[in-house]
């Protein structure tokens, strides 16, 4: 009865297989059908191994192997194909354009396999040893089959289980792959991954590839533009037409390189900033924020800050506030940050503005030489010892941009650089009406 069921299953599988192969042109357009065909091919091959009737092998593509008996093989002409007989009633034809390799029963490895297959019987250890030998000869599919046969005969065969990466879980002894799939993982890229994480990683890798492609493309277009040849205007038009956010890194690099030794025209540099403002990616916003403080060209600096007013206000404020709070920053950096903050006045930041009216800056200077030689008024020489510790200097600076910010959020008050009076003023406003601190 079991033999009849097995034969019926094989016939059904082979029948589906023939149907799919018959409509081979459709398989090219239907990826799901193609995957199903591969599954059926592999299943048919496994059924053949289980019966021990392996004779000839046809490799279709890089992943599919079909075992049977090659009854015809024509390598030339319109009817170039290979016909494989799966059993006395079923034959399958493969076009030679799809066949990667054929292995006949006369080949050395297959002849050896047929000889050894007759010796194993139902002995788990012999199946295990045959599996190892198959792996060594490159017969990987046959090797996997005999590892599983060894475990099926003797579930406690530790070496066969280890070869198949079997492990124990709460339900008993299962294949490692089965356990991982039950956990919701997928096998890809040589390991097991959470599907969402794997998809995100693949998307990130693809984005990196596209980003690098845009870097090369923009460099090429810039070269054509600066050659001032007949393709110059067309290259500029192509640069202006780029609207892919994955080109962000390319324009960031172009902008930063444009301020180096070979500075580019201001109009071109503004085009780079305009593209970053259009893309609105995190990297684009970050670059605009940096330009709002460190760009030397005042017009470009203002352009970047105006772009941030539309999209990037929070990032700009979050970046500039730590600068005005730090004693380690240079006065010029604090001044630049306050100047940038004038584009984003916020009544709720009155404390920061008041603190920034007068800022303290710490400077550490290296010690002088250990020994100094000098002369007095009479011309006599002398030797003196200098300090060997760095000296710390602190200086205070009034910041007019902080005062302008305070007058922007409180136009009815002006206490100059008097921090105490400004604090008293805002405290009184808070006590009087909390809503007064935010104006429409």
Q: Average pLDDT, stretch 159-180?
A: 63
Q: What is the CATH number of domain 106-183?
A: 1.25.40.10
Q: Average pLDDT, stretch 419-431?
A: 93
Domain boundaries, the chain: 1-95, 106-183, 198-369+384-437
User: Band of the pLDDT at 79, cuts 50, 70, 90?
Assistant: low
User: Band of the pLDDT at 15, cuts 50, 70, 90?
Assistant: very low
CA separation for the pair 185, 328 (Å, rounded):
49
Whether the pLDDT of residue 227 is over 80: the answer is: yes
Higher pLDDT: 29 or 432? It is 432
Whole-model pTM: value is 0.55
Whether the pLDDT of residue 6 is over 80: the answer is: no
Is the CATH code 1.25.10 the one for domain 198-369+384-437? yes
Q: What Cα–Cα distance (Å) separates residue 273 from each residue in 111, 122, 232, 280, 283?
A: 70, 74, 21, 11, 12
Higher pLDDT: 127 or 188? It is 127
Q: Which pLDDT value is given to residue 430?
A: 87
Residues of the chain with pLDDT > 90: what percent?
Answer: 40
Higher pLDDT: 13 or 95? It is 95
Per the document, the length of the chain is 440
Whether the pLDDT of residue 169 is over 70: the answer is: no
Q: Which pLDDT value is given to residue 43?
A: 43
Q: Which pLDDT value is given to residue 71?
A: 74
Whether the pLDDT of residue 257 is over 70: the answer is: yes
pLDDT in tens, 296-317: 999 999 999 999 999 899 999 9
């Amino acid at each position: 009865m079991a033999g009849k069921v097995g034969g019926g299953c094989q016939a059904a599988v082979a029948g589906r297989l023939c149907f799919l192969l018959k409509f081979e042109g459709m398989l090219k357009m239907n990826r799901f059908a193609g995957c199903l065909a591969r599954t059926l091919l592999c299943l048919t091959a496994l059924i053949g191994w289980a019966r021990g009737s392996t004779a000839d092998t046809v490799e279709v593509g890089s992943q599919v192997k079909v075992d049977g008996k090659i009854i015809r093989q024509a390598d030339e002409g319109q009817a170039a194909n290979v016909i494989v007989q799966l059993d006395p009633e079923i034959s399958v034809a493969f076009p030679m354009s799809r066949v990667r390799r054929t292995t006949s029963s006369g080949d050395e490895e297959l002849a050896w396999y047929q000889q050894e297959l007759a010796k194993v019987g139902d002995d788990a250890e012999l199946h295990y040893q045959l599996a190892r030998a198959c792996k060594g000869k490159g017969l990987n599919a046959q090797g996997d089959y005999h590892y599983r046969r060894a475990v099926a005969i003797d579930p406690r065969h530790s070496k066969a289980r280890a070869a198949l990466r079997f492990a124990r879980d709460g339900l008993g002894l299962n294949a490692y792959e089965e356990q991982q799939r039950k956990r919701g993982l997928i096998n890809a890229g040589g390991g097991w991954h959470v599907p969402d994480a794997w998809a995100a990683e693949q998307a990130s890798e693809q984005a990196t590839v596209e980003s690098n492609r845009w870097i090369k493309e923009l460099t090429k277009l810039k070269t054509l533009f600066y050659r001032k040849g007949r393709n110059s205007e067309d290259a500029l038009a192509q640069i202006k037409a780029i609207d892919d956010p994955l080109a962000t890194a390319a324009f960031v690099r172009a902008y930063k390189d444009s301020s180096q030794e070979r500075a580019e025209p201001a109009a071109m540099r503004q085009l780079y900033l305009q593209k970053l403002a259009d893309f609105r990616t995190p990297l684009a916003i970050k670059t605009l924020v940096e330009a709002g403080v460190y760009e030397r060209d005042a017009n470009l600096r203002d352009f970047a800050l105006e772009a941030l007013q539309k999209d990037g206000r929070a990032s700009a404020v979050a970046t500039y506030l730590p600068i005005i709070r730090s004693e380690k920053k240079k006065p010029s950096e604090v001044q630049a940050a306050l100047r940038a903050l004038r584009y984003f006045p916020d009544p709720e930041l009155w404390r920061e503005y008041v603190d920034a009216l007068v800022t303290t800056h710490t400077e550490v200077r290296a010690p002088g030489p250990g020994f100094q030689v000098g002369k007095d008024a009479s011309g006599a020489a002398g030797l003196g010892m200098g300090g060997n510790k760095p000296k710390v200097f602190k200086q205070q600076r009034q910041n007019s941009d902080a005062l302008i910010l305070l007058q922007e959020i409180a136009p009815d008050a002006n206490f100059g650089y008097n921090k105490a009076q400004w604090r008293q003023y805002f405290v009184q406003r808070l006590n009087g009406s909390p809503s007064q601190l935010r104006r429409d």
